[in-house]
């Protein structure tokens, strides 16, 4: 069965055609990053307007690239939550219009659950459940215990900034541009990760919540000049190198995520973890997670880099499995700025390893 996926939750307008939930026939992404760079972050009003311009050409290109027509589709899957409401509405309106015109069923997809399934789009294999899922993106740093494509128990999350948001904020402080993740990773390659030992925000050592907002404050106070009242200024202290700050910050984020990932596997006696979302592109994070998995005895499933950031192939895939389990949604679809999941209660004691 062919599924058309549509994604418009943030600043990427994307469409994809996926066969039987795993084989990507076409994936088209129109990024608005350049339009938001001036503001160092996504401006919701601009995002919605850009989606309106891009959505139909992007869908048309995905169908053309796959060599199919609307009549060949068995399903339309569209991101309905979480995201910017004005942006989500554009993708949902397009999906509903196509469905009404062609009679093709529609499924509304949770964007975070779509990131969770992305590791299996590349090789076509099916995941083994249960598994720990870690989504690290611009808006989320969430650990789940997944028992199926649509069954995710929330184990822990960030209490403030998401990992990607922290990268974007540090990039802004260091003048590296937007989006910050790739820019910080690039600068960090020429830096010393041990130049500054920023505190690892591990919070409760037996729980899976994290916090990243303190890191930005630490960077500002440790690395920047201060006014007579002790407030950080715009200039870095003499001798401080941008590359060293980027590398030391990245090391703190990677250490935190890898420590919590290992803890999640141990606490829930689940020797496999999947990681997705934009921050999962980060090379040092991927390497550190693989190394920790090898040492502590858990298997790591990485999302291929081009499927880590927002795309519609993951939306089509998630929609397909949701449709198989629960059937189509009735129109109109309700969009939601936030999503919620059942939260795990008290956690077991960690196993001795890891
Ligand atoms: O999943 P995504 O494309 O959009 C959301 O759903 O939020 O993630 C975007 C986030 C941005 O914060 C971006 O800075 C971050 O992913 N990111 C990275 C890297 N590439 C993208 N963070 C660290 N290292 C990277 N290489
Ligand atoms: Zn995303």
- Please, where in the chain does CATH 3.30.420.40 lie? 2-117+308-341, 125-302
Residue nearest to atom 3 of ligand 1 (CA): 309
Please check the confidence at residue 348 and state whether its pLDDT lies above 50.
no
Q: How many CB atoms lie within 10 A of CB 72?
A: 14
Which residue's CA lies nearest to atom 10 of ligand 1?
138
- The residue-averaged pLDDT of 225-237 equals 90
pLDDT in tens, 96-149: 999 999 999 999 999 999 999 999 997 778 899 999 999 999 999 999 999 999
Burial code (b: 16+ CB inside 10 Å, e: under 16) for 94-112 equals bbbebbeeeebbbbbbbbb
Best residue among 82, 158, 179 to mutate for probing ligand 1, ranked by most atoms within 8 Å of CB: 179
**pLDDT confidence tier of residue 22, bands split at 50, 70 and 90:** very high
Averaged pLDDT, 252-267:
96
Q: How far apart are CA 47 and CA 62, in angstroms?
A: 21
User: Is 70 exceeded by the pLDDT of residue 270?
Assistant: yes
β-bridge mates for residue 27, sequence order: 16
Q: Is 21 in the pocket of ligand 1 (CB under 6 A)?
A: no
Q: Identify whether the C-beta of residue 39 lies closer than 8 Å to the C-beta of residue 335.
A: no
The pair of structure tokens assigned to 231 is 């407030």
For residue 49, what pLDDT is reported?
95
| Class in CATH terms, 2-117+308-341 | alpha beta
**pTM for this predicted structure:** 0.92
Per-residue pLDDT, 353: 43
Closest CA to 7 of 65, 87, 71: 87
Mean pLDDT value of segment 25-37: 89
Q: Model confidence over 194-216: pLDDT tens digits?
A: 999 998 877 788 899 999 999 98
Average pLDDT score over residue span 328-354: 76
- What are the φ and ψ backbone dihedral angles of 153, each rounded to 5 degrees? -100, 125
pLDDT at 349: 44
Least confident interval from 201-205, 312-316, 346-350: 346-350
CA nearest ligand 1 atom 16, residue: 278
SS (H, E, C) the chain: CEEEEEECCCCEEEEEEEECCCEEEEEEEEECHHHHHHHCCCCHHHHHHHHHHHHHHHHHHHHHHHCCCHHHCCEEEEEEECCCHHHHHHHHHHHHHHHHHHCCCEEEEEHHHHHHHCHHHHHCCCCCCCEEEEEECCCCEEEEEEEECCEEEEEEEECCCCHHHHHHHHHHHHCCCCCHHHHHHHHHCCCCCCCCCCCCCCCCCCCCCECCHHHHHHHHHHHEEECCCCCEEEEECCCCCHHHHHHHHHHHHHHHHHHHHHHHHHHCCCCEEEEECHHHHCHHHHHHHHHHHHHHCCEEEECCHHHHCCCCHHHHHHHHHHHHHHCCCCCCCCCCCCCCCCECCCCCCCCCCC
pLDDT category of residue 352 using cuts at 50, 70 and 90: very low
Mean pLDDT, range 264-279, rounded to an integer: 97
Cβ atoms 4, 73 nearer than 8 A? yes
Distance from Cα 262 to the centre of ligand 2, integer Å? 23
Residue 342 has a pLDDT of: 93
pLDDT of residue 351: 44
Distance separating alpha carbons of residues 347 and 333, to the nearest angstrom: 35
Would you say the CB of residue 139 lies under 6 angstroms from ligand 1?
A: yes
Q: Assign domain 125-302 to a CATH class.
A: alpha beta
Position 140 scores a pLDDT of 94
């Amino acid at each position: 069965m062919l599924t058309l996926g549509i994604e418009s939750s943030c600043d990427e307008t994307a469409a994809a055609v996926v066969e039987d939930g795993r084989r990507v026939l076409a994936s088209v992404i129109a990024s608005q990053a350049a339009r938001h760079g001036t503001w160092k972050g996504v401006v919701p009003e601009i995002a919605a307007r850009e989606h309106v311009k891009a959505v139909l050409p992007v869908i048309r290109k995905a169908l053309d690239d796959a060599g199919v027509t609307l009549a060949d589709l068995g399903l339309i899957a569209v991101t309905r939550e979480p995201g910017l409401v004005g942006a989500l509405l554009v993708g949902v309106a397009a999906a509903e219009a196509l469905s009404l015109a062609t009679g093709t069923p529609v499924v509304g997809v949770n964007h975070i659950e779509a990131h969770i399934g992305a590791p299996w789009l590349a090789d076509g294999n099916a995941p083994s459940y249960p598994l720990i899922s870690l989504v690290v993106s611009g808006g989320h740093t969430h650990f789940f215990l997944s028992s199926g494509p649509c069954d995710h128990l929330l184990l822990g999350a960030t209490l403030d900034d998401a990992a990607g948001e922290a990268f974007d904020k540090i990039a802004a402080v260091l003048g590296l541009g937007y989006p910050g993740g790739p820019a910080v990773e690039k600068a960090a390659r020429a830096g010393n990760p041990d130049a500054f030992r920023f505190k690892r925000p591990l919070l409760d050592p037996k729980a899976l919540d994290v916090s990243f907002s303190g890191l930005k404050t630490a960077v500002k106070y440790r690395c920047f000049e201060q006014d007579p009242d002790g407030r950080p200024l715009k200039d870095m202290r003499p001798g401080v190198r941008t590359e060293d700050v980027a590398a030391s910050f990245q090391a703190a984020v990677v250490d935190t995520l890898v420590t919590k990932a290992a803890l999640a596997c141990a606490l829930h006696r689940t020797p496999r973890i999947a990681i997705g979302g934009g921050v999962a592109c980060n090379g040092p994070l991927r390497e550190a997670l693989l190394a920790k998995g090898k040492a502590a005895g858990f298997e790591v499933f990485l999302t291929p880099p081009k499927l880590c950031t927002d795309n519609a192939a993951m939306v089509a895939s998630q929609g397909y499995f949701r449709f198989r389990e629960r059937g189509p949604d009735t129109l109109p679809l309700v969009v939601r700025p936030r999503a919620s999941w059942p939260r795990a209660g008290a956690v077991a004691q960690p196993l001795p390893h890891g």
